Amino acid sequence: MNIVFRGPNDSRPRLLSRIVAEGGLPADLDPVVRETATASRFTGKAGQVFEGFTGGEAGFQRLGFAGIGDATGAGKLAALERAGGALTAKYLTSGETSLAIDFAGSGLSAEEAAAVLIGARLRGWRHDVYRTKLTDEQKPSLAEIVAVAAPDGTEAAWEIESAVAEGVEFTRELVTEPANVIYPESFVARCQARLEGTGVEIVVLGKDEMTALGMGALLGVSQGSVREPRLLAMRWKGRAGAKPTAFVGKGVTFDTGGISIKPAAGMEDMKWDMGGAAAVAGTMLALAKRKAQADVIGVCGLVENMPDGNAQRPGDVVTSMSGQTIEVINTDAEGRLVLCDALTWVQKEYSPATVIDLATLTGAIIVSLGHEHAGMFSNDDMLAGQLDAAGKASGDTLWRFPIGPAYDKLIDSPIADMKNVGPRYGGSITAAQFIHRYIDKGVAWAHLDIAGTVWVDKPGATHDKGATGFGVRLLDRYVRDVLEA
C-alpha cells in the first residue's frame, strides 16, 4: 500500500479519517456526525472505528474515526498502530481507493504519526495471487493512504518504517507461498531478486559444498526429498570494526515429519515451517533498505523433509559439522538438526559476538504460550533482557524459559553424543538445550521458538489471518536499540 504526504491545503480524497483519543471527538465536528457517533457509543476506545457522512458546499464527504483509548507511554505506539490498522481493515474492500488521515491538531509526534501509518500499511497486506474468482466486493480497493498535515519529521521517520514494513511483507510472502512454489532453491532465488542492488553480500552453499564441510545433520533431513538443500548467508555490513551479529533461521520449506510422519489433518500448514528463515530474510531486507549502521549476517538453513525410500530413519546416527554425533530418535524433530549445522558454520566462518536463532521448532511452545508470545531461551541475561525489551517495543513479544544442566542431561544418548529429542515433558526446553550444545564458548546466544506466532487463524491489529511476519520488527528493534545505539 502506497503512503503519500500532503499539506493541510492540498487536495485530499473523499474519505477522510482522524485518530481520536478516548472522549476526544474533534471540536469542529459536524453536530449531526457528533450526535451519530454518540448514539453509536463511539467513545474513542482503542481499536474502535466509527463512520459518518457529511455534505454541504464542499460536497459529500465520508468520515472515519479510529480510537486509541487513553494509552500513554510505551502503550501509545501500539494503540496508534492499532488505530491505523483498524482504518485499513474498515476500508480495504470498501470501494474507496484512497484514504486520508488528517493529523492536523492531533498533537502527535513524528514517531507517533509513523506508528499510525505502519499499522495502516501492514494491515492492508494480502496475498491474492492464486485467487481467480474474487468478486469486486471481495477485492481490495484501497491502494493509498494520504497523510495530511503530518507532524514535522514524519516523512523522515516513515522512510525508516517503510523499509521495515517492506521486510515484514517479504517475510509474509515467503511464509504464505505454497511448498511447490517456495522450496530451498526458489527461496534463495527470491531472496537474491529482492536483495539485488541493496548492498547485501550473498553466499549460497549447495549440497556438494555442505557435504564437503561435514554437515551431516542438515543433509540427513534433506536426503528424503528431490529438492536439494541450500545454505543461504546474507551480510549487511553497515558498520565496520566490531564482531558481527548473526541471525540464523530454520528453513524447512515443507515438513511431512519424514519417516516419523505427521497426521494428515493440518499437514498443509507445514509450508510455514520455514518461518524462522523467512523472518531472517525479511530482516536483512529491512536493514539494507534503511541503511542500518550495523554489521549483521543472516543465515538460512533450507531443506525439505520428505519420507521417500532414501529418507533418514529413526535410530540413524549422523555426524554434525561440529563433529558431535546425534542419534535421530524422531525424524520430525528435524529443525534442530538443520540449525545445528547452520550455527556451527556461521560461527566458524564469521566469529560473531552474538547469535540469535529463530525457528518454528516445537508444538510444545504453542501448548505453553498459545499464539501471543514466542518462547525465548538464552545463555546471556543481558541479551535476554535486550530482546525482551525489543519485543515489547515492537509488538513481537517474547517469554523467557529456563535452560540448565538438569534439562541438558535429558538428551544424552546411550550410543551417540546426544539424541535429537528428550522425554515427553519440557519439549521446548530440551530442544533449546540441543541447540545450546552447538554454541561456542563466549558467544552470547538466544533461541526464539516462534512456532505459535508466525501463522494465525484470526486477524490481528496489524495483520490479517495467515502469515504475521513475526520476528522482523523484533530483530530490527534489537538492531536499533543495541547495535546502533
Of 418, 235, 256, residue with least CA distance to 340: 418
Distance CA 102, CA 471 (A): 31
The pLDDT assigned to 312 comes to 98
Q: Is residue 235's pLDDT more than 70?
A: yes
Strand pairing category for 444-449 and 418-419? unpaired
* Paired strand residues for 311: none
Answer whether 162's CB lies under 8 Å from 473's CB: no
* 290 is annotated as an active-site residue: no
Residue type, 413: S
Q: What percent of the chain has pLDDT over 90?
A: 92
The pLDDT assigned to 123 comes to 98
Distance CA 364, CA 422 (A): 12
The pLDDT assigned to 445 comes to 99
| Residue 446: band (very low, low, confident or very high) from pLDDT cuts 50, 70, 90 | very high
Cβ-based neighbour number of residue 138 at 10 Å: 10
Q: Is 91 exposed, middle or buried (0-12, 13-18, 19+ CB in 10 A)?
A: buried
Q: Which three cell numbers stand for residue 330?
A: 524422531
Chain centroid, CA 212 distance in Å: 33
The 10s digit of each residue's pLDDT in 9-30 is: 898 899 999 999 988 888 888 8
Q: Which fold has domain 162-483?
A: Aminopeptidase (3.40.630)
Of 273, 245, 317, 290, residue with least CA distance to 452: 273
Q: Which fold has domain 2-152?
A: Leucine Aminopeptidase, subunit E; domain 1 (3.40.220)
Distance CA 96, CA 148 (A): 17
Answer whether 225's CB lies under 8 Å from 307's CB: no
Average pLDDT value for residue range 471-478: 98
Average pLDDT value for residue range 183-192: 98
The pLDDT assigned to 56 comes to 61
The pLDDT assigned to 427 comes to 98
The pLDDT assigned to 241 comes to 80
Average pLDDT value for residue range 375-402: 98
All CATH 3.40.220.10 domain ranges of the chain, comma separated, are 2-152
The pLDDT assigned to 54 comes to 86
The 10s digit of each residue's pLDDT in 273-322 is: 999 999 999 999 999 999 999 999 999 999 999 999 999 999 999 999 99
The 10s digit of each residue's pLDDT in 248-279 is: 999 999 999 999 999 999 999 999 999 999 99
What contacts 389, CB < 8 A, 6 or more positions away? 481
Answer whether 349's CB lies under 8 Å from 325's CB: no
The torsion of the CA quartet 154, 155, 159, 164, rounded to 10 degrees, works out to: 40
Q: Is residue 74's pLDDT more than 80?
A: no
All CATH 3.40.630.10 domain ranges of the chain, comma separated, are 162-483
Average pLDDT value for residue range 192-213: 98
The 10s digit of each residue's pLDDT in 131-187 is: 999 999 999 999 999 999 999 999 999 999 999 999 999 999 999 999 999 999 999
Mean residue pLDDT across the chain? 96
Cβ-based neighbour number of residue 28 at 10 Å: 8
**Which DSSP letter does residue 262 get?**
P
The pLDDT assigned to 274 comes to 98
* 291 is annotated as an active-site residue: no
Distance CA 382, CA 387 (A): 9
Task: Considering the candidates 45, 62, 126, 262, report the single residue annotated as catalytic.
Answer: 262
Distance CA 177, CA 183 (A): 10
The pLDDT assigned to 25 comes to 85
The pLDDT assigned to 57 comes to 61
Distance CA 191, CA 182 (A): 11
> Which residue shows C-alpha cell 566490531?
242
Distance CA 437, CA 475 (A): 23
The torsion of the CA quartet 92, 466, 78, 52, rounded to 10 degrees, works out to: 20
**Which DSSP letter does residue 335 get?**
H
The pLDDT assigned to 73 comes to 73
What contacts 10, CB < 8 A, 6 or more positions away? 148
Task: Considering the candidates 194, 250, 336, 419, report the single residue annotated as catalytic.
Answer: 336
